[in-house]
Structure 1
Amino acid sequence: MREELSDYGWKPGRLLTVISDGELALPNLIRNAVGGDGQVKHILDWWHISMRIQHIEAAVQGLVQTPGFTGVPVLFQRPAKSLRWRLWHGRARVAETYLKALMHDCVGLGEEPLAVRTAAARVQARCETLYTYLANNMEALVDYGRRYRNGLPISSSRAEGSVDDIANARMGKRRRMRWSPQGAHRVAVTRAAVLDGRLTVANRKRPA
């Protein structure tokens, strides 16, 4: 890994930024490779945050549209919509406050009809999921809007999308013909090299 980083242009003493979904395996791998020759900054992937917010927004919308719901819709919808803006601008602590308020309001629907209580429990569960996710990765949260405006990466969605396109197309359980793990790895390496510009027409004859 250290050799790969060096080939990519890393020099001892330079800061390395690692984006992950919260799993520490990749940041730790890079830290071990760098050793004491540089710093590693871990950033929580924005795509994974955004998807969890989307789940909350959908659950809240389902709650306020549930027959028998007697609450004030805006009191649930406004905090849910504010989560994305707060986290995008690096205001994680404020976002946590909004999550707590949503969960508290869901508890307050305990006397509503069963359908409403079920929908409220769904909102609460998704809020708890995001709250735990943020709490476990608080040090990896940044001002995503600022990074984006500065042209810096905030997500690994491009890489994950490539995994879906490459691996799932042939490695899915329902596929009759599948690559071997070694073959899938070689295709993934080649595809990554094409995406980041290392494999071009000029050097297409180089082995993956």
Structure 2
Amino acid sequence: MSNTKEEKNEKSLDMKSQKNIACDIDGVKIVEKKLVESKQILEGIINAIPVRVFWKDLNLVYLGCNKIFANDAGFNDPKELIGKDDFSMIWREQAELYRKDDMEVIKSGIAKKLIEEPQTTPDGKIITLLTSKMPLRDSAGKIIGVLGTYMDISERKNYEDELKKSKEILQSKVKELQRFNRVITDRELKMIELKKEISELKARLGGEESEK
């Protein structure tokens, strides 16, 4: 009898253990599913925003980016950039400039905002970026890299340059007009003075004739 009871108890414990294990596995699967969903949502948000987003580790190696940043680098998929650095990118000529800012942010722990800097595009053009960088921290607050964002302000910059050129041309024309106006004014004043002198001369000549 005792053996039978023990066997029943063991079976009951085994069943409970199996249920607990099954529950644990189900729980892990649910957590994993939620993590995957959260990651997909985050990727969707990052890829939907109209600015470029990227993040690097302490060695300034890319850990990730959004799709438009990958496109700027000449890639179709952000995953293609993981493990690469700026010297591996189309903008390798600007690599030292970018890395200098990255290291300043990492070492100081202070963000750098709204930096105007150049970037070489896949088709060889040089565009102007407005970049912000900040320390990338873990859950404990320790700096583990750098997070950056930027937008292409080339059109705005070109517009500002054109506006500046137009303003300079306008100012030059205004100065020319002012000089011309001074010349004309001087001539008119001289003509008035000359007419006055002629009138005075005629008056004197007329007086002399009448005296005769």
The TM-score range, normalised by the shorter chain, is: under 0.3
Q: TM-score, normalised by structure 1?
A: 0.21
Larger relative strand fraction: 2
CA radius of gyration, larger in: 2
Q: Which has the higher contact order (CA 8 A, sep 6+)?
A: 1
Q: TM-score, normalised by structure 2?
A: 0.21
